[in-house]
């Protein structure tokens, strides 16, 4: 792994020790309390029975690697199906519960982490189960609900597999799920053939970018 310190006239350099685990490609690291967190890719373990011990952590102050344990869920976490997010100073993730075919009350648990093992309390990661979201389908092996935004009243979650947004109220724990987007009959211009080619899949996506005031006059 290589790092670059901003505002220091140097170049990309390797960390003193390599990352201890492989991480899932295509997933941006989550920043929380001075560290970057990645989801470990269990599919790259040589032993198929090996279970990821948690989330790989990279501290920015001393550039050391470590592992943060997952929340104490009732079942083994499917790391392929979860996404870490930092919302309002808390580390969040949604964990799908046991998948049962044709079950109508499938659910997710929303967990939040308040601190790390090196904070002022020194008690290690403190996970708390904040909400239970019932009625949203669970798709084994696919990413489930992802926390994407939060305010004082509610948490917004994105379900990419079925193009839904879920709003979970903090006080009442009421969950509202709405279908919001789906694009059909897509085609694109193929640069080699110069023709339009049909895109076989339906496409949808959703993203939120936090507003940051500019220090430059416009």
What tokens does 215 get? 């220090």
The predicted pLDDT at position 65 comes to 94
Q: Which tokens in the block code for residue 211?
A: 């507003």
Percent of the chain with pLDDT over 70: 74
| pLDDT score of 154 | 80
Q: Is the pLDDT of residue 37 over 90?
A: yes
pLDDT of residue 146: 83
CA gap 179, 47 in Å, rounded: 40
In a domain, 206, yes or no: no
Average pLDDT, the chain: 78
Q: Is residue 85 part of a domain?
A: no
DSSP-derived 3-state class of residue 121: coil
Question: With pLDDT > 90 as the criterion, what percentage of the chain qualifies?
Answer: 11
Q: What is the pLDDT of residue 94?
A: 87
Helix (H, G, I), strand (E, B) or coil at 81: helix
Give SS3 for 95: strand
CB 163 within 8 A of CB 183: no
Pairing of strands 164-169, 154-159: antiparallel
Range of the domain at 1: 1-68
pTM: 0.74
Q: Per-residue pLDDT averaged across 78-93, rounded?
A: 87
Whether the per-residue pLDDT at 34 is higher than 70: the answer is: yes
For 114-174, list the strands marked E by DSSP: 127-134, 145-150, 154-159, 164-169
Residue 167 lies inside a defined structural domain of this protein:
no
Does residue 52 belong to any structural domain of this protein?
yes
pLDDT digits (tens, 9 = 90+) for 101-153: 555 567 788 898 877 765 555 567 889 888 888 777 777 767 778 888 888 78
H or E element in which residue 160 lies:
none
What are residue 95's DSSP bridge partners? 109
Q: Give the pLDDT confidence score for residue 125 in this predicted structure.
A: 82
49 pLDDT tier (thresholds 50, 70, 90): confident
pLDDT in tens, 59-81: 988 899 999 999 988 677 888 88
Between 45-54, 73-82, 177-186, 198-207, the lowest mean confidence (pLDDT) is in: 177-186
Averaged pLDDT, 76-103: 80
What is the per-residue pLDDT across 163-175, written as a single tens digit (0 to 9) for each? Answer: 677 777 777 766 6
Identify whether 13 is part of a domain: yes
**Does residue 160 lie within any of the structural domains?**
no
Report yes or no on 103 lying in a domain. Answer: no
User: What total number of domains does the chain contain?
Assistant: 1
Residue 44 DSSP SS3: helix
Assigned domain for 35 exists: yes
Q: Is the pLDDT of residue 181 over 60?
A: no
């Amino acid at each position: 792994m290589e790092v670059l310190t901003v505002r220091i006239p140097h170049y990309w350099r390797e960390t003193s020790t390599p990352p201890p685990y492989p991480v899932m490609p295509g997933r941006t690291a989550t920043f929380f309390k001075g560290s970057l967190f990645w989801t470990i890719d269990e599919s790259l373990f040589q032993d198929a029975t090996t279970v990821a011990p948690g989330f790989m952590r990279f501290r920015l102050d001393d550039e050391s690697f470590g592992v943060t344990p997952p929340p104490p869920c009732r079942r083994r976490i499917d790391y392929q199906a979860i996404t870490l997010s930092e919302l309002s100073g808390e580390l969040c993730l949604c964990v799908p519960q046991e998948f049962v075919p044709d079950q109508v009350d499938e659910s997710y648990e929303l967990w939040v982490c308040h601190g790390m093992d090196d904070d002022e309390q020194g008690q290690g990661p403190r996970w708390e189960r904040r909400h239970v979201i019932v009625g949203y389908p669970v798709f084994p092996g696919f990413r489930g609900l992802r926390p994407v935004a939060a305010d004082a009243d509610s948490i917004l979650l994105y379900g990419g597999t079925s193009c839904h947004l879920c709003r979970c109220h903090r006080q009442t724990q009421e969950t509202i799920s709405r279908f919001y987007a789906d694009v059909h009959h897509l085609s694109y211009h193929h640069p080699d053939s110069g023709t339009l080619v049909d895109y076989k899949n339906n496409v949808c996506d959703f993203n939120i970018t936090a507003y940051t005031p500019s220090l430059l006059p416009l």
